[in-house]
Structure 1
Amino acid sequence: MQLAIKTPVIAVLAALTASACSLGPSGMPPAMPSPAHYGALPQPDQTVAAGGTAQHFVVGAPPVPQWWRLYRSEALDALVEEGLRNNPTLAATQRSLNSAQEDLRAQIGASTLPSIDAGGQVERTRSPVAPGVGPSIQRYNVFVGQLQAQYNFDLFGAVRDGNKASAARVDVQAYEVEAAHRALVANIVGTTINAAALDRQIALTERLVTAAADTARDDGQRQMLGAVSHSKVLASARQAAALAATLPPLRQQRASTVHALAVLLGRTPDAAPAVPDLESLSLPERLPVAVPAQLLRSRPDIQAAEAAVRATAFDVGQATAQLFPNLSLTASMGRAGFSWPALLSGAGGIWAIGASLSQPIFHGGALLAHRRATKEAYEAALLHYKSTVLSAFENVADSLAALQNDAQMLASTDSEASSAHELFDETTSRYRLGSLPISAVQSSEQQFLTAQLDAVRAQSKRLCDTAALFQAMGELPPEPATSASRR
């Protein structure tokens, strides 16, 4: 007879537990378009050749985890490794993730397993009794020792969905740590390239200032001989002063850049590292271009947005489950008595077992409002996911277009610098033969140095935009440790 009563109850509980899976949305990210190419125009297979190198776009190639090594600079590798090891901001994000993971373990253990507590009590009591019945004052001892257990049955999945929502939010933090890791590497590489380019620009500008000062001095001497006008002298002096005025901003920019690099490495600004020479940095020739479906899995920002969708979906399930009954079971056992012998005797045993069932009836509309709020948050997470994916597509499209334009710009500036160099050599040769004055040599030298400055800027921009493309491609990381957030 007891079996006939218990079997339907077990079946009902099993059905209720299984039905809990349908209380919230699926948590799957929305389908996104898969464009044939990222930009408004199809990207070519390679850029134009510039600086002796044409970069090739390898569509469908997997992302490169340690892409900075493709610059083939041991000094750059050492800076990146030092930053990953010592940057305090990255370490703080990792510690925050560790804390969140431990909190999640504590939450799962406290909510899914029975709680068992041991308690003991020793008490000396003095209490009055009724008048005329025995002594007026009664004193006695109470000794109690017991174990108490409690377990809440997760009939509709409220606890389960709450734990999975927390796990998904820990996944979000894990992907944010990965994004911070990649951003730090890109910042170190970009800052190092900028510092190296500034070193080269300062050296060229110093030569340019010296050449302009020599021209101004020579024009002053030629005016004394009546060979040039006073306006020519003033123009030369103005140009020399204008070029000299460009040096302090460059030096300040260089100082700020190396100070920022030192902080990225976890150093104080006074311990700024040495910067490799710009010419020692090789330009990566083969660049992976992930197809859109692959990009959705390789970008940590997209992965974080997807985890946020899962978290809000589980929030909806939890809020829905809270509208249904809650069942809990409590039990205790132990011994009690008014003396130690009584406590230890057979008559000292105590126990209790009970169950409670509660059904929300009226909470002022709070539960329904909370459920509507979670559904709105879920819809917002879906839209945020779409926005993140579109921004990622835009980021890749801009990076690809930038590299194509960088190559064309560098090719033009290199051609200009080559022509200016050839003109400078020819002018110098003709000056030595006596067919041209020194002013022609000085003018051609300034034109050559200016063209070199433009080439250095174009070269550094190409190197930096290459790093930006590697960062935009992301990486295929292992699944976060909190993969329990998946259904």
Structure 2
Amino acid sequence: MKLAYKTSVLAVATALALTACSFGPSGEPPVMPSPTHYGAQAQPSKTVVADGVAQQFDIGSTAVPQWWRLYRSDAVDALVEEGLRNSPTLAATQRTLSAAQEELRGQIGSSTLPSVDAAAQVERARSPVVPGVGPTEVRYNFFAGQIQAHYTFDFFGATRYANAAAAARVNVQGYELEAARRALAANIVGTAINVAALDRQIALTERLVAVASETANEDQQRYTLGSLSHAQALNSKDDAESIAASLPPLRQQRATAVHALAVLMGRTPDDAPVVPDLDSLSLPDHVPVAVPSDLLRSRPDILAADAAVNAAAADVGAATAQLFPSLSLTASMGRGGFSWPTLLSGAGGLWAIGAGLSQPIFHGGALFAQRRASIDTYDAAVLHYKSTVLSAFQDVADSLAALDNDAQSLASTERAAQAARAAFDETASRARLGSLPSTAQHASEQRFLNAQLGAVRAGSQRMTDTAALFQAMGELPSAQQHVTSKE
């Protein structure tokens, strides 16, 4: 059985030697479909006009590096820049990447260049001698100094593949850092928009509470005078208390969001930043929509999955190369002797040179199992790449659909708010003339305030979804950003 196994090993090794490409896959990512448009339906060239803005979808545009500046808010720019500069999470990711890069440099240097070491030895020794012949023991000193060198020839690429795999994994960490940086910026912008919207909602809700309380007090007075039923007075009181109960959750949401924003920026929650007013933010009127082929080169998560495919392909090559012989050379030279004069004389010269050849014969099937495992890992990396690309397409499709629907929703809430405002103005005028009771004015104002709340929610959602689309587009990396890992 051992003879048959050895024959199998040699046959496979010979076949692989004759076909260099069999050492491992190329590492190129699989070809993905290039859809004509991202969603189930073709995205429109622009949205409907809402809040005075019809967002244009610039098909084929490249990703925007510092997209948050398109909101034209110095305050938002300052929040993002501080977060990118001070976030401990981002800094930790950067340090991890730096450590991986240094380890890669060390691995490449130690595996591709000869190793040279210096050794020195000083020894005092005692040796027994044959009894009855001469002294009973011999004491002597020994001095030696040597330079030793070692080098392993990478005939079949085991070292090259291993270094390529390590370089690709460093690239994975580099792209993950870029993804973390962009996610941090998106989180800061989204949280700032959320806080600004909550500020507006709290102000409107406080006015709602005040109006509802006035209505409840007036209805209580009318009940006391006998012009209103007790049930109607209690209903007004219930409405006022229900509206008042909605304020604490809004304030809690704001507190949570502000604390989260402070931590994102590397601050403690008690040192939360000042958030800009919602009116100071300008909705970007042009948003880029990269074609799918560009999206594959701009999304950090896709690039990380691509690098993982490269690493897995190199691992297959390294596992295959382990089946082939390994040749190492060792050499040393120096001086030695039993005394300093001998050490320094011509008789003290020492040198050695040797070569070692190793060929795996039988390892209990471990080498073949490792190669099969690396192939399975490569297949899994390819499938993960496909899944990442499909998720990215879905991400963009969802963001585009959201912006289109957000604009329609905002346009509808704006029209509702305008109608409610007109009704409120008319009701207030008639109340001042005495043709309507004040409770009618309060009810009309409540409807107007509720319509404004709907417009604030729709407008802030549109701004947040715009940031999500910018995030989904990624950013084309610079050529020097990552280590080349492909063979």
TM-score (norm 1): 0.95
Partners of 1:480 and 1:233 in 2: CA distance: 73
Partners of 2:31 and 2:371 in 1: CA distance: 25
Give deviations 1:147-191, integer Å, cap 9, x for gaps.
000000011000110011000000000000000000000000000
Secondary structure of the residue that 2:40 maps to in structure 1?
coil
The residue that corresponds to 1:59 in the other structure is: 59
Secondary structure of the residue that 2:329 maps to in structure 1?
strand
The residue that corresponds to 2:206 in the other structure is: 206
> Aligned letter for 1:45?
S
Partners of 1:18 and 1:145 in 2: CA distance: 45
> Aligned letter for 1:427?
T
Cα deviation, residue 141, structure 1: 1.1
Q: Which moved more, 1:25-34 or 1:132-141?
A: 132-141
- Shift in alpha-carbon separation, 1:476–1:339, aligned structure 2, 3 A: same
Cα deviation, residue 22, structure 1: 4.5
Give deviations 1:213-239, integer Å, cap 9, x for gaps.
000000111112222211110110110
The residue that corresponds to 2:229 in the other structure is: 229
Answering whether residue 282 of structure 2 is matched by residue 282 of structure 1, we say yes
Answering whether residue 249 of structure 2 is matched by residue 249 of structure 1, we say yes
Q: Which moved more, 1:315-324 or 1:125-134?
A: 125-134
Cα deviation, residue 439, structure 1: 1.1
> Aligned letter for 1:384?
H
The residue that corresponds to 2:397 in the other structure is: 397
The residue that corresponds to 2:166 in the other structure is: 166
Conserved 8 A contact 2:84-2:185: yes
Conserved 8 A contact 1:327-1:355: yes
Cα deviation, residue 483, structure 1: 2.5
Cα deviation, residue 359, structure 1: 0.6
Counterpart mapping for 1:100-115 below 5 A: 100-115=100-115
The residue that corresponds to 2:144 in the other structure is: 144
> Aligned letter for 1:402?
A
> Aligned letter for 1:94?
Q
Conserved 8 A contact 1:68-1:189: yes
Conserved 8 A contact 1:37-1:43: yes
> Aligned letter for 2:174?
A
The residue that corresponds to 2:312 in the other structure is: 312
Cα deviation, residue 19, structure 1: 6.8
The residue that corresponds to 1:176 in the other structure is: 176
The residue that corresponds to 2:372 in the other structure is: 372
The residue that corresponds to 1:135 in the other structure is: 135
Q: Deviating runs (4+, > 3 A) in structure 1?
A: 16-22, 479-482
Secondary structure of the residue that 1:388 maps to in structure 2?
helix
Conserved 8 A contact 1:17-1:157: no
Partners of 2:134 and 2:328 in 1: CA distance: 44
> Aligned letter for 1:373?
A
Conserved 8 A contact 1:17-1:154: no
Identity %: 70
RMSD, aligned CA: 1.3
Secondary structure of the residue that 2:48 maps to in structure 1?
coil
Partners of 2:379 and 2:205 in 1: CA distance: 56
Cα deviation, residue 347, structure 1: 1.1
Cα deviation, residue 435, structure 1: 1.4
Partners of 1:185 and 1:52 in 2: CA distance: 26
Partners of 1:17 and 1:320 in 2: CA distance: 10
> Aligned letter for 2:290?
A
Cα deviation, residue 433, structure 1: 1.8
Partners of 1:219 and 1:124 in 2: CA distance: 109
The residue that corresponds to 2:12 in the other structure is: none
Cα deviation, residue 436, structure 1: 1.1
Cα deviation, residue 133, structure 1: 3.3
> Aligned letter for 2:122?
V
Secondary structure of the residue that 1:485 maps to in structure 2?
coil
Give deviations 1:103-135, integer Å, cap 9, x for gaps.
000111111100000011111111012234332
Secondary structure of the residue that 1:398 maps to in structure 2?
helix
Conserved 8 A contact 2:295-2:474: yes
Partners of 2:107 and 2:183 in 1: CA distance: 31
- Shift in alpha-carbon separation, 1:152–1:21, aligned structure 2, 3 A: farther
> Aligned letter for 2:338?
F
Conserved 8 A contact 1:175-1:301: yes
Answering whether residue 270 of structure 2 is matched by residue 239 of structure 1, we say no
Partners of 2:482 and 2:65 in 1: CA distance: 22
The residue that corresponds to 1:9 in the other structure is: none
Partners of 1:82 and 1:48 in 2: CA distance: 35
The residue that corresponds to 1:414 in the other structure is: 414
The residue that corresponds to 2:35 in the other structure is: 35
The residue that corresponds to 1:81 in the other structure is: 81
> Aligned letter for 1:249?
P
The residue that corresponds to 2:6 in the other structure is: none
Give deviations 1:66-115, integer Å, cap 9, x for gaps.
11011011111110011001000000000000000000001111111000
Answering whether residue 71 of structure 2 is matched by residue 71 of structure 1, we say yes
Secondary structure of the residue that 2:475 maps to in structure 1?
coil
Cα deviation, residue 482, structure 1: 4.5
Partners of 1:102 and 1:296 in 2: CA distance: 28
Partners of 2:482 and 2:376 in 1: CA distance: 25
Give deviations 1:353-380, integer Å, cap 9, x for gaps.
0000011111111111010000000000
Conserved 8 A contact 2:319-2:367: yes
Give deviations 1:301-324, integer Å, cap 9, x for gaps.
000000000000000000000011
Partners of 2:120 and 2:482 in 1: CA distance: 38
> Aligned letter for 1:69?
R
Partners of 2:354 and 2:368 in 1: CA distance: 30
The residue that corresponds to 1:292 in the other structure is: 292
Secondary structure of the residue that 1:40 maps to in structure 2?
coil
Conserved 8 A contact 2:170-2:483: no
Conserved 8 A contact 1:32-1:386: yes
- Shift in alpha-carbon separation, 1:277–1:213, aligned structure 2, 3 A: same
Partners of 2:383 and 2:125 in 1: CA distance: 65
Cα deviation, residue 204, structure 1: 0.1
The residue that corresponds to 1:5 in the other structure is: none
Secondary structure of the residue that 1:392 maps to in structure 2?
helix
Partners of 1:212 and 1:330 in 2: CA distance: 91
> Aligned letter for 1:216?
A
Secondary structure of the residue that 2:484 maps to in structure 1?
helix
Counterpart mapping for 1:118-129 below 5 A: 118-129=118-129
The residue that corresponds to 1:4 in the other structure is: none
Cα deviation, residue 17, structure 1: 9.9
Give deviations 1:434-458, integer Å, cap 9, x for gaps.
2111111010000000000000000
- Shift in alpha-carbon separation, 1:355–1:482, aligned structure 2, 3 A: farther
Conserved 8 A contact 1:20-1:321: no
The residue that corresponds to 1:474 in the other structure is: 474
- Shift in alpha-carbon separation, 1:141–1:166, aligned structure 2, 3 A: same
> Aligned letter for 1:179?
A
Q: Which moved more, 1:358-367 or 1:429-438?
A: 429-438
Secondary structure of the residue that 1:243 maps to in structure 2?
helix
